[in-house]
Structure formats: C-alpha cells, structure tokens
Structure 1
C-alpha cells in the first residue's frame, strides 16, 4: 500500500515539478549527444578532432550511454571489434555495480542483478533463452567476441520486456550501417590452462560493408566466433554432519556422514554466428533481417571417490573440537564407491528476425517478428567400482581436508568390485514465435515530449524428456580387467600450494568408454545392450502465451531540468502444463494445469538535470517473473548413489516485486564519473528449495523441491567511480582507474525452520578494483573482484534443515596488449592468476568444512587485426 501511494505521489510531483521547473538550462549545461557504441573519433569544443580508441573509447561510450539513458542503466562497450574487457560475457558483467556471478569451473555462470537471479535476457532487444528448463539465457553460451556491448537495465520502463525482477540484460551485436566502409577484422588466440595442461584456440572474424545504391543504402555483416577451452577443477566435499554414538563409546558427537573427492576435466566449445542485412531505401524507412546462431558443448570427464562414514566405528584417539565436532578420526571398514562419469551438456540456439522502422512527421513505427528455436541435452553416463577400506582416516584440521587409505591398495583388482552402471539424461526443446509493434508520437516542442505505445505477442513452448537406466553387477574387477584403468587424475590437488595426501590412486572405468563405447562396457560385464527407457515421470510440456500492451509518456527535453517517463505495461498470460506426477496415495498419475492471469506493471523514471554534469534519477516500478519451466515440472529425478533427488512443483506462483530506485551521478569528464545509487525491492512468492525425506521402492531419498515462501526484501547501495588521469605529466597521463562497491542486504523466509536467511547465492558486499594504463600503443589492465561470504545451500542435520555458507574470495585477472601497427595488436591475458581456493562450511563453522575447490589458472595470448 505504501508503494502504491508512492506511485501516485511521484506522478503528481513529476507534473508539478514540470510546471515549476520547466525552464531552460544554461547553454553550457546542454547535455552532450549520445555516443556511438563504436566511437572512433570525438570532437572537443574549440579544438581539432582527436582520435579516441581502445579502453578510453569504450569507457567514454559506456559512460555516455549511462548518462543519456532515461532510466538507471550500466553499460559495457567493447574496446574494439571482438574485444570485450573480459574473456567471457559473465566475467565482464561482474565488473558492473550491483552484479554478482557464480563460477562454474573457473568461468562465470549464473548472474545476479541486485541480489536476484531472475534476470530477463535479450539480444538486440529481443527475448532469447536456453532450452535447459530456465527462462533466460545461459550467458556462457554466447561467445564474447560477437558482442559490441551489454546494457544492464536496473529500473524498468513500460517499453521493456517484462520478466526480470533483478533487471534486464541486453546483449548488443554490431549493425552493418554503423560502419563507414568495408571492414574486416579477426582475432586468433591461444588459451593455456595450467591444471588441465592444455592449449586451446579461439578464432573470430567479422566482415561488414555498406553501399550507396540507386535503391538506397544497403549494409551487410557476417561475424563468426569459435572458442575452445580445456579445464580442470579439483573438488573435495565433506559429507553432511550428524549425531553419532559409534565413534567415541558413551559419547554423542557430531561427525560427517562421508567424504567425496572428484576431479572434473572438461572441454568447452562455443560457436557463434551473426548475420545481418540492412536496407534504407529512404531517410525515413529502414528494413532489416538478421540471424543468430549459438552452440555450446561442454564435455566433462569426472573421476572421484565417495566414502560412507555414517554409523561406522573408529579407532581410539578421534580428535574432537570443543563444540563436539569430530575433526579427525580413523574409521574401520569404510565402504568406498569409486565413480567415473561423463557429464555432457549441449546447447543450441538459433534466432531469425526481421522488421522495419518507419517515420513520417511526428509518428514513428517499428515492427519486429522473430522465431527462436533452442535445444539442450544433458547426458550422465557413469560406472561405479567399490571397495572396503580396513582403516580410513578423514582429517579436516588441514586447510585442504585430507583422506588416507593407510596403505590399502585400491589399484588392486582383487580389492575392487564393479558395482553398477547408471545412465541418465535429459532432452530439452524450446520454441518461441514473437511479434511486436512499437510506436512513438512526437507531441512537439513542449514539456510533454512524446507518447510511446506498443503491443507484443509471444507464443512459447518448453518440453523435456528424461531417461534413466541402471545395471547392477557386483562382479569382481578381475572378471573385466579390460574396462578398468588407474585414475588419470591421481595428482588430485597436487598443484595447490596447500596440497595434502588424498585418496587419488584407485581403479576407474575410463570416461571415454562410458561416453562412446557403452556396448563394449556392458558386454565385458555380461549384459546385453539395452537402450535406456523413459519413465512415466520423465516428460513435461509447458505452453505459454503472453499478450502485452503498453503506453508511456515521455516528458522533458534536452534543455529541461526535469525529464523522464511514466508508463504502464499490461501483460495477459495463459499457461498450460502437461505431464505426470507422484500421487499422495502412491503411484503415478497424469497432470494438466491451466492458468491465466493478468499483470499491471506501472513504472516511473524521473531525471533531474541540475547541471549537464550532475544528475539525480528516481524510479518506482512493479515487476513480475514467472517460475522456470523446470521448477514447474512434475518430473522426479533420483540419484541412487547419493540417495538424493529433485522434483518440480506445478503449483508455483509467479514472483512479483515492488521496487524503488535512486541514483545520483556526477560526470566530470568524458571518461570520468562518480555515482551512488540505492534500491529497495519487496518481493512476494520467492522460490526456495525445500529438502524432504521420501521413500521410493523401499529406498529413502532426500528430495529437493521448489516452493513459494512468504517473500522478502532486498535493499542496497552502489558506489562507482572511473577516471583517466590526463592531468598527470608525460607517460603518467595514460593511467586510469575504475572502482565500485555494492552492499546488498536481503532477508527472506526460508525452508530452514524458524530462520530468516539472506537470499541464496547473494553476498552482502562486493567490490571491483581496476587499474588501467593506455598510452603509446600500450594497453594494460589489472582487475580484482571480491565478494563476501554468502548463503550457498541447505542440508539436513538430524532431519532438520540447516544452511551452508561459502566464504568470501577474490578473483584476479590482468591483460596487456600492444599496437604493433594501427591495424595489428598483440595481447597477453591472465585469469584466476592467484588460483584461489574457494571454500564453504556447514553453518559457517570452521569445524564443519563442506566444499573446497580449486580451478585452473588461464593464460591467453593472441593477435587481433582490423582492416
């Protein structure tokens, strides 16, 4: 109710301010024109034209986009064709205030904007997505070399596509009519990963041109990028703690129920292709067609060992911390399960679009029609061997937890059994047809600038098929020696400066056999080749149709003290879900859920231009996002090894938020600014993951299911600064700096009974420090990103939900390039230079380590040219 009052008050204040304050600003305070996202030249008042390129040009353009925007926006602009400031899209986004990222094997993955992962993703203003059960795009799928820039919209306006509680991320590719002449550019780069000990290529190229013809201006562009990256990540996971009476006779202590070590070794490949044709037959008409293709392949070989410790007795002398946690003990007759598995992901997305832009007098219209098709598969092919270790020592007192078999030979076939084979997989597909018409009518030279209006229709489907196949053997390893080999990742954590003795030498079924020669593995074990089968819970299909109307009034002009927009976006959603679900009385039955709802999303963005350099922005809005398709899915997936599983919830409701934003910005030079922003979000129907104990076929599993909770609040503060120190003498004038800090305080009801927790995956504090040097053809950059401890996951402690926290850590990257000629640049870059070890703890207690992980240090070197 208070926010509803705020909307009314803000609207009234805006109109009153317009009457009182709509007087011209002094001539010297007239805002500068918007900069191109590929600025080659910039004129200075009273001086001859000077060339601005590289980092300066990108910072200048990004700053100008923020400065001229009608709402709160942060931008990243490529330094040159094929050159974002960071190696990946997600790594570049982590430099933006208010943005945090999760890391996946040393590479940015999930993106959070102002504390929320519910972020709408668009490509050139068009909705784009990955077919892996989520609504948005896996930003890892898009090669960074294809992008000219990224805009992060933190306060919405009525003309932006709904769906982002945190914000909207728009990826921008280049357009052929932006080039003045035939342009050919390319990049060749090699990347070395020091844990994987592999060198891989990155190649990208662009060709663009435009022609003046008798039929008007025509432009064409083709851009291609291919990346390959090898990686390795060593991970130690200590089992969940629980009460035990068997370790120390007569005493109840708290001990981990197991230990798990695994080494993922992977090969990631990205292919991206962009093509576009533009035709301007006249000054007031433009026609275009464009196509985008992205393919992402992640082939992941995993080798690990899982030791079960629950209920085991131990030798005398177990070390116990003052809080009752067992931190070191030698267990007797510990069963170990050695696993090797292929965990392969393949994403493919293709989008075709066409449209027109037309202007006649005060009226402008823009029509766009698009079709997007995406597929995604996940394959989990695994083989398990087993053994029983007479004396197994687990020690968590060291920085890197260690495990020791005390001389027991796990490389002996006689000591090893072949337990079972497990195949699981998912095939996803998503399609969307979308059409929109946007219009703007210029009201003349008054304070009320223009009326924008539009409509959009989208028809989207998402479907998923899952399969699972299990073959139990139990044979001795001596019966099938041809399918066994020593663990190729036996140097587990050996490259870490904190290396400790661990379980590493054991027999495995090589992953290449499990991936490409399953029939041979099955034959060696005496099984017939049987294809995996779908179960009744393996399929779901969601159909979703949205119809959108919006109207927005723009007010103010270039010489007004107050400008901005006020609008309303109306969205009608129809949704149908079909699949099967488990019944309360047992068994499986069909389910069909139909829903229809309406959302009215008002927004107000007001900018006060106190001077050309000093600006205050205020915004208020409502936002909505729908649950991920996989969260709605009734499917149930069980892991019979770790005795856990996951399922969806077809009854989930959309998430809704009321939002307030403010930003005070001071631009003291073309590349220099300082700003402070504050925000507040009140969210309803947050989705949290709730663990529960369930029994299927006589086996008890811990099942994680999503559920709407009561909601929560997110509030925060952002501070940012950037500058080149041009006033310094000589070579020092090439120095520059960027720095920003974000504080996000969140509170939400939780699946953890009786507790209110921060949002999962959200650090309270983050900061970025970037040092820059650019002069005499040399460009250097050192960037450090740090985030504080955050709530990472939940676990069951004696049947009661408890939190696990990941400790804060920093990430260091650097780059150095030199312009050999005006057209050729050589570069050297490094990522994860300190090879940081990331750690998490149950209940954030030092005596309860959860995960300890180290990723590759990456070194890149290459050459870039432009003709």
Structure 2
C-alpha cells in the first residue's frame, strides 16, 4: 500500500506542476518534486525531454523550455518542426507562405488533422487573413497567437489513449504552461526586453515580456502573472498566376489565323505581388493555484492573446484572357507540351480600348485575430486509491476583417504584353507596354470589391470529470481511468457586406482619382529572380480608404453577402474507460472512448431572383437566398491500445494501435461561397460530410545509449476513412461585373470546388538521433518518410515524402550556440479556385546565440530563415505541372536581454 500511495502522490505533484488535464502523468511530464523543477540550458532541456519521452506509456515527442521564456526556437511551431514526423506551414488557406510558421501537422497530413491543446484542453482560435476567416476555415490552431514565452513543455502525442480528448486523427500537440507552485523560490521575477529586425522591410521593432511569480512558504498558495508585447514588420515579394492557366478554345478568333493555338494553355492574371504588414501581438497569462487541503488542489488559469495584423496587398497583373483569344502573338512564339510558354503581343490601335493588365490594391486596416480561455481545475484525492480531476472552462477566438479598402482597375490599354516561361522552379519573365502611372489606369475596366464587417467567432464551453482508481500493488492491473466530457462548440460568421461600385458616383472617371501615390520598392523581386515590370505605383492606404469612401457602395441591405455567412454548432458528449497495466519490464494500457456529436450546419442557399420559394429573402444585389440549417449527427467508438517493453536498461520498444477521429473543417461543412467573376471559378461547402476516422498503427524502438542520447527507429501507418478531398462541379451564379456592363442580370456557369468524403492512407518510418559530444558539444538529427495517397491515387493534403532536420550545439557555463537546418519535400497544398496546387521542397536555416553576462542577465540573438528561402508553388494541369506562385520574405533577427531575479 505504501508503494501505491507514493505513485499517487507523484501523480498529484505532477498535476500541480503542470495541470495537464486528463493526461497520463508519465506521458505529459516528468514526475519530479516541485522544489527541484528547474531546467537550465540546452543540455538540461534535452535531458528533461528525453526523460519525459522515456517514461511515457504511449508514443510521444517532447520539447522542454531551456529556461523561463526560452524555447529552443523563437516560435513555438518552429521549435516543433525539429521533431521527427512534425511539419509546419505558414498559411491555412491559399494565401501563400509567410516568414513565420503558423500551423503544425503530423506525419504528412493536413494541419486540421492535428489537434492543438493547451494544458490538455481545447483553445478557441482565429485568423487574421480573410480567406482563412470565410473561405478555407479549418480546425487547426493559429500558432501566431501563442508566444513561446508562456511555454514550459510541449508534448506531441503520436499514439492515442482513450483518456485523450478526441479531435486529432494524426495526433495532438499539448502545450503545457507553468504553474505557480512549480517554481523553486517564493518570489521569481523575469523580464525580457528586445527587438525584432526583418531585413526585407528593413525595420526594427520592440519585443517585451515579463513574469512575476509568488508563492507562500508553505507551498500551498501561488500566483503567477505574465505579460507579453511583440511588434514586427513583414514584407513579402511575390509572383502569382492568380487566374491559373486558361485554354484558347478551338473556335477562338485567333485560331482562324493561327490553328496551332487551338487548345493551348496560357498563364492568365500573371502578377507582381507586393505585400506588407505590421503584426502587433499582446496579451498575458494569470494563474492562481491553491492547495486547499492535503487532498484538494484548485487552479484558476486564464490566457489572452491578440494579434493586430494590418496588411496591404498589391497585385499588378497581365490580363492575358483579354487578348490571347482574339490577337495573334508576334512570330516566334513558342508552344511546349501544349503550353504557350513564350509570346509577345504588339500594341494595338483599336478605338475600343483593351486593358492588357489589371491591378488589384487591397488594404485591410484593423485586421486581427484573438484567442482567450479561462479554466478552473480541481484535483481531489478522495482516498488512498482514488483520485478525481474536474475542469470547467470557456474559450473564445475571433478573426476580424472590419474593412477592406479595394480598387481593381484596368491598366496598359492597347499597350501590348509579353511573357517567357523558364521552368517549374523559375518565375515567369513578363512585361506590359505603355506608361505605368496613376494618370493612365482604366477604372472603367475594373471593379470595387471586398468584404466588410467580418467578425468570425470560435468558442467552446466545456466540463470534464476524470477519475483514476489504483489497484493493489501486486496486481497486473495498475490502475483504471474513467471520465466524461461535455462541450458546446460554435464557429460562425453572422454578417458581411460585399462592397461594390456606387453607380451614382463618378467612379469610372479617371480625373476623380489621385495623381500621386507610392511605388514598389526599388529592389522588389530581387530575391525571386526573373524579370517583372518596374516602377509600379500604388495608392497609399489612406488614399485607397478615401477612394472607397467616395466610390464604394457599402449598403448593409443591398450589399449583404449572404454566401459568406455561416455557422457550425456542435454539442459533443464523450465518455471513456482505460485500463493501465504493469508487469516486470513491461507496461501498457487499453481503452475505449465513446463520442457523440450533434451538429447544426447553417448556411444560405443561393436562389434565382424572384424565385418565389417560401422563406426566400430578397433585397441583396447577389440574388435571393434561403437561410438553411442541416443536421449532421454521428457517434463513434474509438478503441486504443499501447504496449511498452523495457528490453534492457537502455532499450525500449513500443507498439500502439488506435482509432482516432477528426470532424470536418468548418468551411467544408458550411463555409463561404467564394466566386471570381474574371475566371468564373469558386468554392463551396458540403454540410453532409462524415468525420474522418483513422485506424493507426505504430511501432518504435528507442535506444538510450548514453546520458541525453537517443537513437530510435519507428514505423507507422494510418488508414483514413472518409478523408475529405475536393471534387469539382458546375453551378450557375450571377456575374456581377458582366451584369453591370450589360445593364441586365447575367448568369454564368462557375466551376466550384466542393469537399467530398473519400479514403486515404499514409505509411512511413522515422529515424531520430541525438547525442552530446564531449563536454560542450552535441548534435541531433531526424528523418521522416511518409507515403500517402487518397483513393484513386490522388494526393493527400500536406504529405511531404521526405522531411529531415539537422542541428548542432555548443554550450558551456556562459555561452551557448545552436544552428539547425530543416527540410521538407514537395507537398499538395490544396485547391485554389479549381486548381490543385503544390508547394515545392524548401529548407530553412536558423541559429541562436546566448551569453550569460551575469547570473541574472542573459543576452540572446536568434536568426530565422538565414538562407532567405524562396517558397515556390506549382499547379497541376492537363499539360502537367506549371509554375503557380513564388514568395520571398527575407530574414528575421531577434535580439533579447533577459533578466531573472
């Protein structure tokens, strides 16, 4: 009995230290005495991470903070990507790559299949980018809202247990924060003052964080307060083939004189994209921990983070579809594999002005995202053999685009154009003729668009109760876990205005527009390569705001954009049982989790004008619509089993099998309908989708051959039932631009991408190695192979076949240095309009330096993207793979002075 009580006491101490709700103590953190929980430096972090991994009853990877406020990398997601089987991405929709990792995924899957938890519970999230708010709305969490300063340890669960909250088919990431009674001293203060420098925008901005922790002498009451403020600038130079690749039809006028052009592909809406942004993140953490009695501990934990993300995107484009079907290119054009790869079009003198270019300027002031939660935990030792944990919590996230100031205008009237394609990895050289100034654009050939008043909410309220019953010390049945959880989750966008031109204004009169403005940087595109137009002008954000104030129609009735209004409500009930076993040199668990999900999916069905259908609402310029709610209810049994064998003092073998579940993305169920009147493409949702259920197999061999050293090899397989992929169908919608031009309603067939249930599978292996070398040096490396495909041989979103990471470090009592290289292969990135697009392989170099000036002051310098990677995308077409987009973000440097008392 004394042995069993000591195990129970150890589990309670661990809960006090980390408050990891409903998680196995050995899996989530090391059971150490509170007064000795202190990790200093790279070697200390590695040692604690390996200890946690080795003692876990399931398959996990672990990262531990090197000190208060100091992860191995500046960004949480960047830290995780150095683990085997972990991939990162910097976007969640089709916005392309930025300089900061924002999403995490496991073993070559979509980020939505990886669940992110904080202290074992879900967290409401939001996105600053408008397409992530209303178009491609996934279930992944934005890591840009989670500063590294709040993190004590991160545990990546690669195999499931019944006690884990469901939601991650591929696995889950549990971010563990610090607790007041975890600190060794009665009073701890820590502050960090620094600066972030981004070389492409050439700006330096402040970053500040502070922590105050107090606990009493009896170690029964503690309070921790933490705050953070970070600001930095971002600039991204890019090239995009926004309109994909058009096809010259067989009956086009140009085919009569140039028959070899029939059926040939050409790049449409080929643009030079200049994006800049200011990101300002601020928030804090409050934690109050009370050990009310020897058997009852209470914990109140609150978190708030807001990211203000004003941004301005300019895209100066060649509008090839305006002239390739009617005008023959100059002699010498080149056709390769059915693609017009090189062509020059001479200027014309027609009385009817043809815009050879089109220019989009989109400013989004006050774009933001936000996340917060409040939890109350109670840990009650009911008896020597029975322990209960209770938790009630609420979390809210939001993503806001209150204003989009937009002008789309024609350019290069009758001025001619040219392009030359090099290869899949090279930007396209292109040019437009004419004079490129604010005085000669063509507003009559453009439009005014952009959603207004977008405020997307993501919220959840929950209650959970978990129990653990310990068996007798001589029993193979070590303990028995059981519990229930109930939650109500909602993701919704209630309102949106899609502005258009105010036809009563003089918006087509060029003389009504400013004659001055800004211009692209002189070095624009220098990191991309290729040749693009130079000296591109733009209206400043304030000028653009005034243009919209003068010429835009933002009437909340006639411009109500019902297609982007949606809601998903889920009532989720779960219960589980799990038996934990232990014998001589082996342990394991087997469990069953039952989950019932009741879903109401709300969206607006588009109808013809004056449809006469009962319940239809009219008055919107986008046609009649019918508010619709569809129920999508289901229940699942999710079994799991884990076995661990201590083959020797240094050798551990693990085996796991489980079924896991991920609910469909919000936009897949209900999401917005996004249409492009230029290309007649778009995307929509499917409220009848089934959840993804994955059957997972995992085996791993771990050799701890020296202190802080590991060599491991593992294999895995995932059978994804009802995996969600995309299909394409044809739907007729009103063409707003053509309707205005003709003075009558014009409807056109749009090719719309619709999510559908299919199946998929992933299999692969992982190799990991880390080892200190001598007294001061160390290395780590890992490699992951993942081979995945959807039914019929199609690609799986996010699957890179090869991923590897290399890192080396030096550390003595005063100085430490670390350098790492991360690489991932090409992967399928999703669907943009109707085009499948892929991200090419990319590697990133990062480094960090740290110097302990005194016992209470440390200076650190972190560098990210030191090799200045160019992110490249390509699209799949009938002619094979073709270049789609290229982005360069430059390098980022973070200098910090950290003070600890």
Alignment TM class, shorter chain as reference: 0.7 to 0.9
Equivalence for 2:497: 467
Change (3 A) 1:675 1:439: same
What are the superposed Cα offsets for residues 500-522 of structure 1, whole Å, 9 maximum, x if unpaired? 431243443322444xxx4x324
Structure 2 residue corresponding to 1:115, chosen from 94, 108, 114: 108
Deviation at 1:351, TM superposition (A): 1.1
Structure 1 residue corresponding to 2:790, chosen from 708, 728, 748: 748
Q: Does residue 830 of structure 2 align to residue 783 of structure 1?
A: no
Q: Does residue 342 of structure 2 align to residue 328 of structure 1?
A: yes
Of the structure 1 ranges 825-834 and 339-348, higher mean CA displacement relative to structure 2 is found in 339-348
Q: Does residue 70 of structure 2 align to residue 83 of structure 1?
A: yes
Structure 1 segment 429-828 matched on structure 2, within 5 A: 429-445=457-473, 446-465=475-494, 466-471=496-501, 478-482=510-514, 484-489=516-521, 491-494=523-526, 496=527, 499-514=529-544, 518=545, 520-522=546-548, 524-525=550-551, 530=555, 533-556=559-582, 560-582=584-606, 588-633=625-670, 635-640=672-677, 643-697=680-734, 698-700=746-748, 702-726=750-774, 733-749=775-791, 756-794=793-831, 803-828=836-861
Deviation at 1:439, TM superposition (A): 0.6
Separation in 1 of the partners of 2:359 and 2:75? 34
Separation in 1 of the partners of 2:637 and 2:478? 24
TM-score, normalised by the number of residues in structure 2: 0.84
Change (3 A) 1:843 1:534: closer
CA contact (8 A) 1:581 1:635 kept: no
Of the structure 1 ranges 254-263 and 678-687, higher mean CA displacement relative to structure 2 is found in 254-263
Change (3 A) 1:52 1:290: closer
Secondary structure of 2:48's aligned partner: helix
Separation in 2 of the partners of 1:471 and 1:529? 9
Structure 2 residue corresponding to 1:206, chosen from 197, 204, 211: 211
Change (3 A) 1:546 1:771: same
Separation in 2 of the partners of 1:196 and 1:806? 24
Of the structure 1 ranges 235-244 and 667-676, higher mean CA displacement relative to structure 2 is found in 235-244
Separation in 2 of the partners of 1:453 and 1:319? 71
What are the superposed Cα offsets for residues 202-234 of structure 1, whole Å, 9 maximum, x if unpaired? 111111121035xx7111101111111211111
CA contact (8 A) 1:300 1:342 kept: yes
Equivalence for 1:128: 123
Separation in 2 of the partners of 1:136 and 1:763? 18
Equivalence for 2:233: 230
Separation in 2 of the partners of 1:381 and 1:108? 27
Equivalence for 1:316: 330
Structure 2 residue corresponding to 1:849, chosen from 883, 896, 900: 883
Separation in 2 of the partners of 1:686 and 1:775? 49
What are the superposed Cα offsets for residues 557-583 of structure 1, whole Å, 9 maximum, x if unpaired? 5xx211011111111221222332235
Separation in 2 of the partners of 1:397 and 1:810? 22
Deviation at 1:268, TM superposition (A): 1.2
RMSD: 2.7
Equivalence for 2:408: 384
Secondary structure of 1:543's aligned partner: strand
CA contact (8 A) 1:339 1:508 kept: no
Higher strand share: 1
Deviation at 1:700, TM superposition (A): 3.7
Change (3 A) 1:324 1:275: same
Structure 2 residue corresponding to 1:219, chosen from 201, 219, 222: 222
Separation in 1 of the partners of 2:566 and 2:712? 47
Equivalence for 2:23: none
Separation in 1 of the partners of 2:548 and 2:802? 51
Change (3 A) 1:485 1:318: farther
Q: Does residue 200 of structure 2 align to residue 195 of structure 1?
A: yes
CA contact (8 A) 1:830 1:858 kept: yes
Secondary structure of 2:893's aligned partner: strand
Separation in 1 of the partners of 2:39 and 2:216? 26
Structure 1 segment 84-483 matched on structure 2, within 5 A: 84-103=71-90, 104-116=97-109, 117=111, 118-131=113-126, 132=133, 133-181=137-185, 182-212=187-217, 217-238=220-241, 239-244=243-248, 246=254, 249-252=258-261, 253-310=264-321, 311-312=323-324, 313-320=327-334, 322-332=336-346, 335-343=356-364, 345-359=367-381, 360-378=383-401, 379-387=403-411, 388-397=413-422, 399-406=426-433, 408-411=434-437, 413-417=439-443, 419-425=446-452, 426-445=454-473, 446-465=475-494, 466-471=496-501, 478-482=510-514
Separation in 2 of the partners of 1:808 and 1:660? 27
Deviation at 1:483, TM superposition (A): 7.1
Deviation at 1:148, TM superposition (A): 1.1
Change (3 A) 1:522 1:847: closer
Separation in 2 of the partners of 1:757 and 1:589? 35
| Over 6 Å off, 4+ runs | 31-34, 36-42, 844-847
What are the superposed Cα offsets for residues 685-713 of structure 1, whole Å, 9 maximum, x if unpaired? 11113344433123546454442232111
CA contact (8 A) 1:38 1:58 kept: no
CA contact (8 A) 1:619 1:661 kept: yes
Change (3 A) 1:482 1:391: closer
CA contact (8 A) 2:428 2:531 kept: no
Structure 1 residue corresponding to 2:52, chosen from 22, 43, 65: 65
**Which blocks of at least 5 consecutive residues in structure 1 are unaligned?**
1-30, 43-50, 727-732, 750-754
Deviation at 1:433, TM superposition (A): 1.4
Deviation at 1:112, TM superposition (A): 1.5
CA contact (8 A) 1:154 1:168 kept: yes
CA contact (8 A) 1:309 1:334 kept: no
What are the superposed Cα offsets for residues 704-752 of structure 1, whole Å, 9 maximum, x if unpaired? 44422321111111111111113xxxxxx31111100000000103xxx
Secondary structure of 1:189's aligned partner: strand
TM-score, normalised by the number of residues in structure 1: 0.87
Equivalence for 1:20: none
Deviation at 1:280, TM superposition (A): 1.1
What are the superposed Cα offsets for residues 323-375 of structure 1, whole Å, 9 maximum, x if unpaired? 24322211246521111112464222221111211112101111111111222
Deviation at 1:593, TM superposition (A): 1.4
Separation in 2 of the partners of 1:833 and 1:699? 50
Deviation at 1:475, TM superposition (A): 5.0
CA contact (8 A) 1:661 1:680 kept: yes
CA contact (8 A) 1:40 1:53 kept: no
**Which blocks of at least 5 consecutive residues in structure 2 are unaligned?**
1-25, 91-96, 127-132, 347-353, 612-623, 735-745
CA contact (8 A) 1:301 1:341 kept: yes
